[in-house]
Chains A and B, each alone.
Chain A
Amino acid sequence: MTTSQPLTGTQPTVRTCPLDAPEEYRALRAQAPVAQVTFPDGAEGWLISRYEDVKTVLADQRFSANRPTLTGGGAADGAPPVRPGWFIFMDAPEHTRFRRLLTGEFTVRRMRQLVPAVEQIVAERLDAMAGAGSPVDLVQAFALPIPSLVICELLGVPYADREEFQRNSANMLSLTADAEVVQGAWEALRQHMHRLVRAKRAEPTDDILGKLVQAGELTDEELAGVGSLLLFAGHETTANMIALGTMCLLENPDQLAALRADPALWDDAIEELLRYLTIIQYGLRRVALEDVELHGHRIKAGSLVVTALSSGNRDTEKFSDHPDQLDVARARGPHLAFGHGIHQCIGQQLARVEMRAALRALFDRFPTLRLAVPAEDVPMRHDMVIYGVHELSVAW
Chain B
Amino acid sequence: MKVIIDEDKCVGAGQCVLAAPDVFDQRDEDGIVVLLDALPPDALRSQVENAAALCPALAIEVVK
Q: Pick the contact of A108 from B26, B32, B56 — CB < 8 Å?
A: B26
Which 8 residue pairs of A and B lie closest in terms of their CB atoms, listed nearest first?
A103-B12, A103-B31, A344-B56, A108-B14, A107-B26, A108-B17, A104-B30, A107-B31
List of A residues within 8 angstroms of B29 by Cβ: 104
Interface size, chain B (Cβ < 8 Å)? 21
Once the chains bind, are A341 and B56 in contact (CB under 8 Å)? yes
Per-residue 0/1 for A85-111: is the Cβ within 8 Å of any B Cβ (1 yes, 0 no)? 000000000000001100111111111
Q: Is A59 an interface residue (CB 8 A)?
A: yes
Known A-B contacts A59-B56, A59-B58, A342-B56; the reply to A348 vs B30 at CB < 8 A is no
Pair A334/B13 contact, Cβ less than 8 Å: no
In the assembled complex, 29 residue pairs joining A and B whose CB atoms fall closer than 8 Å, in A order, are: A58-B56, A59-B58, A99-B11, A99-B12, A103-B26, A103-B31, A104-B27, A104-B28, A104-B29, A105-B31, A107-B12, A107-B17, A107-B26, A107-B31, A108-B14, A108-B26, A109-B25, A109-B26, A109-B28, A111-B14, A334-B15, A334-B54, A338-B13, A340-B56, A344-B11, A344-B13, A344-B15, A344-B56, A344-B57
Q: A334-B53, A334-B54, A339-B56 are in contact. Are A345 and B13 (CB under 8 A)?
A: yes
CA gap between A341 and B11 in the complex, in Å: 9
List residues of chain A with CB within 8 A of the CB of B58: 59
| Contact B31 A106, beta carbon cutoff 8 Å | yes
B1 CB–A CB distance under 8 Å: no
Indicate the size class of the contact surface on chain A: 20 to 34
User: How many Å from the CB of B24 to the closest CB on chain A?
Assistant: 10
Nearest CB on A from B20, distance (A) = 12
B18 at the interface (CB under 8 A from A): yes
Q: Is the CB of A107 within 8 A of B14?
A: yes
Contact A108 B53 (CB under 8 A): no
CB distance from A267 to the nearest CB of B (A): 9
Residue of A nearest to B25 (CB): A109
Q: Which residues of B contact A (CB under 8 A)?
A: 11-15, 17-18, 25-32, 50, 53-54, 56-58
Does any Cβ of B come within 8 Å of A37's Cβ?
Answer: no
Instruction: Give the one of B13, B18, B26, B50 with max A CB within 10 A.
Output: B13
The answer to whether B18 and A108 have CB atoms under 8 Å apart is yes
User: Are B14 and A349 closer than 8 Å at their CB atoms?
Assistant: yes
Chain B residues, CB < 8 A from A100: 12, 30, 32
How many Å lie between the Cα of A109 and that of B26 in the bound state?
8
Q: A107-B28, A109-B17, A342-B57 are in contact. List 18 more A-B contacts (CB 8 A).
A: A59-B58, A99-B11, A103-B11, A104-B12, A104-B28, A104-B29, A104-B31, A105-B31, A106-B12, A107-B12, A107-B14, A108-B14, A109-B25, A109-B28, A334-B53, A344-B11, A344-B57, A346-B12
Q: In the complex, A220→B7 CA distance in Å?
A: 29
- Alpha-carbon gap, A58 to B28, bound state (A): 27
- Which residues of A are found within 8 Å of B18, using beta-carbon distances? 108, 349
A44 to B10, CA, bound (A): 33
- In the assembled complex, which residues on chain A have CB atoms less than 8 Å from the CB atom of B30? 100, 103-104
User: B28–A348 contact, CB under 8 A?
Assistant: no
Question: Chain B nearest CB: distance from A77 CB in Å?
Answer: 27
**Assembled-state Cα–Cα distance A59/B18 (Å):** 20
